[in-house]
Amino acid sequence: METNLQAQEGYESSPPEDHRWLGKQGIAVSDLHPSGIARFDRERVDVVSDGTFIDAGQPLEVVRIDGNRVVVRLAPP
């Protein structure tokens, strides 16, 4: 049995990048070592830091979207 999923039939190999988070500022809900949870507005989001460890409670900014990963850094003061 062979199954082919075609884009013209509405199938995608991965969801499109969600750019609504790009540039948003929020708060780290958990420590990011480097991944963790952040809150933007009232929504909790799984995030990854730009390589640095970030403590819970710190202000964050979304700097890029890599596929389904939301990458953040400490927000500028």
Q: What is the pLDDT of residue 13?
A: 52
- Of the chain, the percentage scoring pLDDT greater than 70 comes to 78
The range of the structural domain enclosing residue 34 comes to 20-74
38-47 pLDDT, tens digit each:
999 999 999 9
User: Is 30 inside a domain boundary?
Assistant: yes
Judge whether residue 60 has pLDDT over 90. Answer: yes
Instruction: Flag whether 59 is in a domain.
Output: yes
Number of domains in the chain: 1
pLDDT-derived band at 67, boundaries 50, 70, 90: confident
Whether 4 maps to a domain, the answer reads no
Bridge partners, 36 (sequence order) = 47
Q: Is residue 27 part of a domain?
A: yes
DSSP letters spanning 28-67: ESS-BSSEEEEEETTEEEEEEESSS-B-TT-EEEEEEEET
Residue where the block lists tokens 């509405």: 10
Residue type, 58: Q
State percent of the chain over pLDDT 90: 66
Domain with residue 37: its CATH number is 2.40.50.140
Q: Indicate the pTM of the whole model.
A: 0.76
Q: Do the domain assignments include residue 8?
A: no
